[in-house]
Chains A and B, each alone.
Chain A
């Protein structure tokens, strides 16, 4: 359960950007989290209000978009979505796939007033 650390880091990043822009409060945060990132979206959403308490982000809405993982099959060369690092290639059944995307954890934008 490292999501509180991640939520705290998220709040600090958001606050720094909002304050630099002269904002009074943060209304919402848009996040992109890869399907293969080591963070549980539900746990992060649960921890966020705790981390945001007493900061410019208090009461803000957290919008979390889970981006797909992607990879290439070494056997057949096919590009595919990767939901799980242990899943075989849906086209030819080979494993492992060379995983290319899906590890990101990024604060995309903020809505501020």
Chain B
């Protein structure tokens, strides 16, 4: 079910993304209430914002449009995030330009309510699908992974649980059966070859051009459903591609 955020526009954003696009989602904790965050982000003097804020009751507020750059993770300190973009020694691309920021009500020691997990995972699933962001721990990260002096999003949130809930909302089946039967197919369109699992939420290894013949070692009919097709093929290298973009018998 699509989320319908309440719009609370913040003046604290940069129009556009300087030719970058959202590639990851940064999870934050508000260190306060949803209403307090509304006020803080509406205040030009604060010079901070995020794209979304989620209350403990599951309510979602949107402060900045996803096509624009929110000011939520523009400082870097000893980052541990594997996919941060280095420029040269000690200098990084500003993470604000290629991330979506989601704030959550509470403080670093607050237990996350089931409702907040539910609402947050639904939003993450929608955002990830809109921007083709893989739903894994490389792409759904805590703010402290960029700025190590902060504990944000705190000690109570289980990011693995949040990722798992989000993956299930896009139809990912973590337990699928592989039929070990080799063959070959030909692509009928450009097709993404993905690492790990039969799901669009997994990282893209490469894009196969139209007309490429690909050998496979097996397939599953229990992969993520895309356009009513659940068949995915496993390549000889152990990667996966969607069955809706190929024809068999080559």
* Real binding pair: no
Which of B's residues lie within 8 Å of A, judged by CB? none
Which of A's residues lie within 8 Å of B, judged by CB? none
